[in-house]
Amino acid sequence: MNVLKVSRWTIAAFVLPCLLLYVILVFVPIIVSFYNGMLDWNGIGTSKFVGLSNFDKMFTNDAYFWPSVRRTFLLAGFSMLVQLPIALFVAILISRYVRKTGFLVSSYFLPVILSVVVIGQLWKTIYNPASMGGMINQILIKLGLDSWTHSWLTEPKVAIYSIILVALWQYLGYHILIQFTGIQNIPADIYEAAKIDGAEGFKADRYITLPLIVPIFKISVVLSFIGSLQSFDLIMVMTGGGPAHATDVISSHMYNMSFLSMKYGYGSAIACFLVVVCLAATLFINLLFNRLDKRFS
Amino acid sequence: MSQSVSITVAKPVAETRRSRFTFTKGIVFAFFGILLVTQLYPLIWLLIYSLKTNEEILSGNFFALPSVWQWSNYSAAVEGGNYWKYLGNSVLVTSVTMVCVILLASLTAFAITRFRWKYGQVVLLIFLLGMMIPMQGTLLPLMIMFKNIDILNTHLSLILPYIAFQTPIAVFILSGFMKTIPQEIEESAIMDGAGVFRIFGSIVLPVSIPPIMTVCILAFINIWNEYIMAATFISAEKLKTLPFGVYSFVSQYSVNYGAIGAFLVLGALPVILIYFLLAEKITKGMVAGAVKG
């Protein structure tokens, strides 16, 4: 039980500044967003209440909306099915084979802390045509694979995968670090006991590391899923959603609608969709892992 | 006698194990090496790129070092790109935000964990709920709000939402820590006649330095790198923060490749320097942030 008995005013002085700022700048805007989503408004002139017609248009009559949702989930899928397993594999290998882990882990982690603008521009330069000094195309030409060269960010079919690669590259180190820390927190005596019972090496990983890493793995899954849903800066920096909407995801579509096409009402409707999907996804993943947890224990 | 026996028996076992070890170990370390190259080489490549002339960049010898190191690229970037201005703005915005986040969040966390009142857990829940809200959803309403109260295009329009979006994780980490401070400390402080503010300022806050460091690191990385709000709320050249400055420099100087590379290096440099000094603290802080988030 907390001991400090204080007056209401003291409590208010401690809590209110933070809470008010937070509610006004985070909760109120979301609620306003839901209302704005029902307006036909360009942000400056008079607004007209149009009910749910923005949402109706979004779901049934916007050629770019569903493709942008599909790409968002494509990124999430790649992140969860490619990036996370690789990260787990690397984390297991590091914890088994490396004695001084600091250098390796912090080197892998380095791209995570860099600004997405720097990362995006760096990779834009790497993806440039060979005539503009792009590294990948220059390597391909050196190897005699001229036919494999692409203008990676301007060909509609290739562009989204080029961006996904960068996202996977940047955050791989984050997931390695998280899962590596998780493995290190598994008590060593469990492995020793297993050794006596004859479980060593990959067998120990299968029966000890994997089940015990589930809670930490969940964190990675949530981060990668929510991160993918909110992936935004990288796309804005690298392509802005182009060419011809070929790399639009939900949030970049929302941004372009609100700030470039000046359809504030419609943009708000997309923002609401994003908020709802984020909340639903977090709930869903938590439920899923609770089940998984029960099955393992 | 028994000793010598055990040694002769143990030896061959150890040897075979070691030889098997070296083979798999070799493969594993080769794999680590490849991964190290893929994670770091783009950054090293950028560094070399930033010191080349346009001709060298376009010639296609991406492995080659520059024949003459073009430091002029850096002076072009610093002078043409307002580097110091952007850096100063970033330092200002980030430091003000960090101080406010720590102050506000630790006050709230203190109230949640140490005061005897009914709604502590409710407040904590409100903050937790907010962690799931995507920042992009608030962009448009915030812009209209800031326009109405006339702070759009000032540093305040960045600092306020930055504080708001950093508080949930900060409150969560700090209250998690403050819960563990033994109550005897307060009890004896009350005996000595210390008031609530005194207890907070001279006992709880100094003890909480480790979690405050974690909060600082998380806030620093997030705010220093933030781009979208900066690009949406700020339009005046002299107010831009570093990521936005990097972006505008790149779009303006699209033909001077070396200078672009130099500006990107300069943009990454502050964070990399801090990372070199505090790598372990930063990785630990980021994990703590992820795990508690």
Q: Which of B157, B164, B46, B23 is nearest to B104 (CA)?
A: B164
Q: Which residues of chain A does B116 touch, with a Cβ-Cβ cutoff of 8 Å?
A: 1-6
Residue pair A257/A68 in contact (Cβ under 8 Å)? The answer is no
Q: If DSSP codes are grouped into helix, strand and coil, which group holds residue A40? A: strand
Give me A1's structure tokens.
């039980």
Q: Which of B45, B41, B38, B35 is nearest to B264 (CA)?
A: B45
pLDDT of B100 strictly over 70: yes
| Distance (Å, whole) CA A187 – CA A209 | 10
pLDDT of B259 strictly over 90: no
Give me B77's structure tokens.
């970037």
Counting one residue from chain A and one from chain B, the pairs whose CB atoms sit within 8 A come to: 272
**Closest approach of B223 to chain A, Cα-based (Å):** 10
**Closest approach of B1 to chain A, Cα-based (Å):** 27
Nearest neighbour of A2 by CB, restricted to B62, B114, B291:
B114
Rg (alpha carbons) of chain B, rounded to whole number: 26
pLDDT of B258 strictly over 70: yes
H runs (alpha helix) in B115-155: 120-130, 139-148
Complex ipTM: 0.86
pLDDT of B17 strictly over 90: no
Q: How many residues does chain A have?
A: 297
Nearest neighbour of B283 by CB, restricted to A109, A111, A172:
A109
Judged by average pLDDT, the poorest of A136-145, B162-171, B199-208 is A136-145
The reported pLDDT for the residue numbered B6 is 39
The reported pLDDT for the residue numbered A296 is 63
Q: Which residues of chain B does A27 touch, with a Cβ-Cβ cutoff of 8 Å?
A: 130, 133
Residue A48 forms beta bridges with which residues?
A40
Q: Which residues of chain B does A137 touch, with a Cβ-Cβ cutoff of 8 Å?
A: none
DSSP state at residue B65? P
Q: Is A27 part of the contact surface with chain B (CB cutoff 8 Å)?
A: yes
Pair type for strands A39-40 and A48-49: antiparallel
The reported pLDDT for the residue numbered A71 is 92
Angle at B234 between CA B228 and CA B236, to 5 degrees: 140
Give me B194's structure tokens.
């210390």
The reported pLDDT for the residue numbered B21 is 62
The reported pLDDT for the residue numbered B194 is 79
Torsions phi, psi for B181 (to 5 deg): -70, 125
Q: How far is CA B243 from the centre of its chain?
A: 13
Instruction: Report the 10 Å Cβ neighbour count for B285.
Output: 23
Give me B284's structure tokens.
């630990």
pLDDT of B10 strictly over 60: no
The reported pLDDT for the residue numbered B160 is 94
Element (DSSP H or E) covering residue A48: strand A48-49
Element (DSSP H or E) covering residue A39: strand A39-40
Residue pair B111/B175 in contact (Cβ under 8 Å)? The answer is no
Domain map (residue ranges) of chain A:
64-259+267-296
- Best A1, A2, A21 member to test B by mutation, with max B CBs in 10 Å, is A2
Q: Which residues of chain B does A110 touch, with a Cβ-Cβ cutoff of 8 Å?
A: 39-40, 43, 272, 275
**Closest approach of B233 to chain A, Cα-based (Å):** 11
**Closest approach of B2 to chain A, Cα-based (Å):** 24
Residue of A nearest to B190 (CA): A4
Rounded mean pLDDT of B6-26?
Answer: 53
Q: Which residues of chain A does B47 touch, with a Cβ-Cβ cutoff of 8 Å?
A: none
pTM reported for the whole predicted model = 0.86
pLDDT of A172 strictly over 80: yes
Q: How far is CA A4 from CA A16, A183, B117, B183, in A?
A: 18, 39, 9, 9
Residue pair A242/A222 in contact (Cβ under 8 Å)? The answer is no
- Best B18, B152, B283 member to test A by mutation, with max A CBs in 10 Å, is B283
The reported pLDDT for the residue numbered B140 is 87
| Distance (Å, whole) CA B143 – CA B126 | 23
Do the Cβ atoms of A169 and B168 come within 8 Å? Answer: no
Q: Is A1 part of the contact surface with chain B (CB cutoff 8 Å)?
A: yes
CB interface of A with B, residues 110-129, below 8 Å = 110-118, 121-123, 125-126
The reported pLDDT for the residue numbered B15 is 42
**Which of A230-235's residues contact partners 24+ apart within 8 Å by CB, and which partners?**
A230/A274, A230/A278, A230/B134, A230/B135, A230/B136, A231/A72, A231/A75, A231/A167, A232/B136, A232/B228, A233/A116, A233/A117, A233/A120, A233/B227, A233/B228, A234/A116, A234/A119, A234/A120, A234/A163, A234/A166, A234/A167, A234/A170, A235/A163
The reported pLDDT for the residue numbered B135 is 85
Q: Is A29 part of the contact surface with chain B (CB cutoff 8 Å)?
A: yes
The reported pLDDT for the residue numbered A297 is 59
Give me A252's structure tokens.
């970049």
| Distance (Å, whole) CA A274 – CA B1 | 76
**Which of A282-287's residues contact partners 24+ apart within 8 Å by CB, and which partners?**
A282/A222, A282/A226, A282/B132, A285/A218, A285/A221, A285/A222, A285/A225, A286/A218, A286/A222
Residue of B nearest to A228 (CA): B134
Do the Cβ atoms of A104 and B32 come within 8 Å? Answer: yes
Nearest neighbour of B196 by CB, restricted to A4, A27, A177:
A4
Angle at B208 between CA B204 and CA A218, to 5 degrees: 130
Average pLDDT of chain A is 86
| Distance (Å, whole) CA B62 – CA A138 | 8
Crossing angle for the helix pair B257-292 and B72-80, nearest 10 degrees?
70
pLDDT tens-digit map of A78-134? 999 999 999 999 999 998 888 888 888 888 999 988 888 889 888 888 888 877 777
Residue pair B172/B124 in contact (Cβ under 8 Å)? The answer is yes
| Distance (Å, whole) CA A227 – CA A171 | 10
Q: Is A282 part of the contact surface with chain B (CB cutoff 8 Å)?
A: yes
CATH topology for the A64-259+267-296 domain? MetI-like fold (1.10.3720)
Q: Which residues of chain A does B42 touch, with a Cβ-Cβ cutoff of 8 Å?
A: 122-123, 126, 169
Q: Is A259 part of the contact surface with chain B (CB cutoff 8 Å)?
A: yes
pLDDT of B49 strictly over 50: yes
The reported pLDDT for the residue numbered A154 is 83
Q: Which residues of chain B does A254 touch, with a Cβ-Cβ cutoff of 8 Å?
A: 136
pLDDT tens-digit map of B262-286? 888 988 899 999 888 888 888 888 8
Residue pair A74/A250 in contact (Cβ under 8 Å)? The answer is no
Average pLDDT of chain B is 83
CB-based contacts of A31, cutoff 8 Å, min separation 6: none
Ranges of beta strands (E only) in B133-172 are none
The reported pLDDT for the residue numbered B11 is 41
Q: Is A255 part of the contact surface with chain B (CB cutoff 8 Å)?
A: yes
Task: Provide the Cα torsion B254, B260, B264, B266; round to 10°.
Answer: -140
Do the Cβ atoms of B60 and A138 come within 8 Å? Answer: yes
CB-based contacts of B195, cutoff 8 Å, min separation 6: none
| Distance (Å, whole) CA B191 – CA B214 | 32
Q: Is A23 part of the contact surface with chain B (CB cutoff 8 Å)?
A: yes
pLDDT tens-digit map of A15-58? 899 999 999 999 899 888 888 888 887 767 777 788 788 888 88
Residue of B nearest to A179 (CA): B287
Judged by average pLDDT, the poorest of A151-160, B8-17, B89-98, B281-290 is B8-17
| Distance (Å, whole) CA A290 – CA A296 | 10
- Best A10, A110, A118, A214 member to test B by mutation, with max B CBs in 10 Å, is A118
Q: Is A135 part of the contact surface with chain B (CB cutoff 8 Å)?
A: yes
Task: Provide the Cα torsion B226, A237, B138, B113; round to 10°.
Answer: -30
The reported pLDDT for the residue numbered B7 is 40
